[in-house]
Amino acid sequence: MSDKLLQFTTSPLSSSSFLAMCSAILAVLKSQFQRPAELIEQEAILLYENLLNQLHLLLNEQAYLQQLKNLKGIINELVSLETINFKGSPGKGLQIMGMLETRALDFETVIITSVNEGILPTGKSNNSFISYDLKRAFKMPTFRDKDAIYTYHFYRLLQRAKNVYITYNTEPDVLEGGEKSRFVSQLLADDNLKPFLSHTIEVPKVSIAGEKPIQIVKTPKLLQKLNQLAVSGFSPTSLTTYIKNPYTFYKRYILGIQEIPNIAEHIAPNTFGTIIHDSLEQLYAPLIDVPLSTALLEPIKKQVAQITKLQFQRTLGSQNLEKGQLLIVFNVVKKYVLSVIEHDIAQAQHDEIIIRALEQKLKISLPPVGTNLPIQLKGTIDRIETVNGLVRIIDYKTGQTNKNDVILVDFGELLEKESKSKAFQLLSYALMYKNYNSQEKPLFAGILPIKSISDGVLEFGTKTSAQSRTKETMITHQTLTDFALVLEQLIAEILNPELPFIDKEAELF
């Protein structure tokens, strides 16, 4: 019998067969709960048996109950109305009673719980179709009479008791409000009772045990994947991801779990940035190795709408850009692309700007760190240009950028502060570029914040102290040497088999 009860049926059940199955389940449960200590379970089973018997009788009388959906509604309604009474010996032990059950009885010790306004007394309730005024006019009992009855029973219960414990909830409640009952206030205000009263507020001791952060031990197979990543090349983004949270680095670059692209009316920030980058690359490609001027830049402004739309289609597919959220995003992207062109037009008025490369992919070898495998650093520089003859590396950023994000006082900040990830990326690009062009003079690198382009290029710089107002923006050989030491330390930590990948975000809790 019990084995069959656990089987699911593929054919539709009738109401009568469903009730028969429920009765069979109750029979099995009844045989399992036979011990004296299981009186509550036995009482619940008996209640359900009576309920099923009533439903069996109703099935023959009410045709609409033949549908399971209707039967379910009736069962839920009947079950919600049922109660299980506590039973005990009247002469001994703990007696659990309602207020009205205590009349004319005396107890040595009384414990009254939930003495909150709205519970004891219950106060005004709207459970009658007869209005309060009609009840008063025809001298019918109102909620005031009910409160008076509860008040009498409350004080009658306290009359001969030796020990009385009254509890109430001080926390705001969805239904009641957390206010203590007027009965409690009356007792506390009675000067004659003060010597015999003790009023305390109890707060449960809650100790929050912090969860141990996730730690991924570097197994031989994991180390093999790490070595493959080192050989194929670490990108500045992957390294700054590790600085932010090693566990995220593990998921993204070892397991290959990427963020799910949201191809809908809302596009992800990285997709937003990709469209802007690709649009700018296509617009500026014909202008490489030519000094920028108003005459050259003004005509390409007319191509912004067409090229931006083309990049949207390439990235998002055949999405409708003429309505909804995507129309707004499309216009925002056009505005940002135009703002870059306007920025270059303004700068070209007083500086000679020549774009040397766009989306330049670079890859260099790094000294081996704790391994004989070749370690690569790779990346894509958004824009390489010369400004009045000096080389400047530009990294477009569509997110929020602060000028302090690209200022360093100490190179150790690159490994300690997540906010310095943009400075880390600029130095990585400068190191790769310098490896290919070692004969050139010192260079500059900066962020072009597209959202706040009026701030201009935020150039990387170093300061002697946090309070210093001057900064050195030139990236010299010494600057790159200091950064190379930091880079070596970081990669050594990533490849160290003894150091697990730890979830830093879990450590915050």
Q: How confident is the model at residue 165 (pLDDT cuts 50, 70, 90)?
A: very high
Q: Residue 38 pLDDT more than 70?
A: yes
Classify the C-alpha dihedral 123-128-131-133 as positive or negative. Answer: negative
Q: Residue 268 pLDDT more than 70?
A: no
Q: What is the pLDDT of residues 424-464, one digit of tens each?
A: 999 999 999 999 887 778 899 999 998 889 888 999 999 88
Single-letter amino acid code for the residue at 502: I
For residue 483, give the nearest of 401, 426, 402 by alpha carbon. 426
Share of the chain above pLDDT 70, in %: 90
Helical H runs in 123-260? 132-137, 143-158, 182-189, 220-232, 236-244, 246-249
Q: How confident is the model at residue 508 (pLDDT cuts 50, 70, 90)?
A: very low
Q: Could you tell me the CA-to-CA distances from 427 to 270, 424, 486, 487 in Å, in that order?
A: 22, 5, 11, 10
- What pLDDT score was predicted for residue 90? 67
Q: How confident is the model at residue 2 (pLDDT cuts 50, 70, 90)?
A: very low
Q: Which residues pair with 390 in a beta bridge?
A: 387
> How far, rounded to the nearest angstrom, does the alpha carbon of residue 15 sit from its chain's CA centroid?
44
- What pLDDT score was predicted for residue 386? 93
Residues 377/363, Cβ–Cβ less than 8 Å: yes
Q: Helix, strand or coil for residue 382?
A: strand
Domain ranges of the chain: 2-81, 99-196, 216-507
Label residue 36 exposed, middle or buried (CB < 10 Å: 0-12, 13-18, 19+).
exposed
> Could you tell me the fold of the domain covering 216-507?
Lambda Exonuclease; Chain A (3.90.320)
**Stretch 286-309: mean pLDDT, rounded?**
91
At a CB cut-off of 8 Å and minimum separation 6, what does 103 contact? 153, 156
Single-letter amino acid code for the residue at 417: K
Q: How confident is the model at residue 173 (pLDDT cuts 50, 70, 90)?
A: low
**Stretch 366-378: mean pLDDT, rounded?**
83
What's the rounded Cα separation, in Å, for the pair 351 and 328?
Answer: 34
**Stretch 402-409: mean pLDDT, rounded?**
89
- What pLDDT score was predicted for residue 118? 80
What's the rounded Cα separation, in Å, for the pair 285 and 250?
Answer: 36
**pTM, whole model, 2 decimals?**
0.61
Q: Could you tell me the CA-to-CA distances from 419 to 195, 214, 396, 400, 413 in Å, in that order?
A: 62, 23, 17, 11, 9
Q: How confident is the model at residue 384 (pLDDT cuts 50, 70, 90)?
A: very high
Q: How confident is the model at residue 174 (pLDDT cuts 50, 70, 90)?
A: low
Give the H/E segment covering residue 65. none
- What pLDDT score was predicted for residue 210? 64
400: tokens are 């929020």
For residue 480, give the nearest of 424, 413, 420, 402 by alpha carbon. 424
**Stretch 81-89: mean pLDDT, rounded?**
73
- What pLDDT score was predicted for residue 355? 94
For the residues of 261-321, what is the DSSP string, one character each?
P--SSS--HHHHHHHHHHHHHHHHGGGTTSB--HHHHHHHHTTHHHHHHHHHHHHH-S---
**Stretch 386-410: mean pLDDT, rounded?**
90
Q: Residue 183 pLDDT more than 50?
A: yes
Instruction: Give the chain's radius of gyration (CA, Å).
Output: 38
The top-scoring range by mean pLDDT among 10-19, 290-299, 436-445 is: 290-299
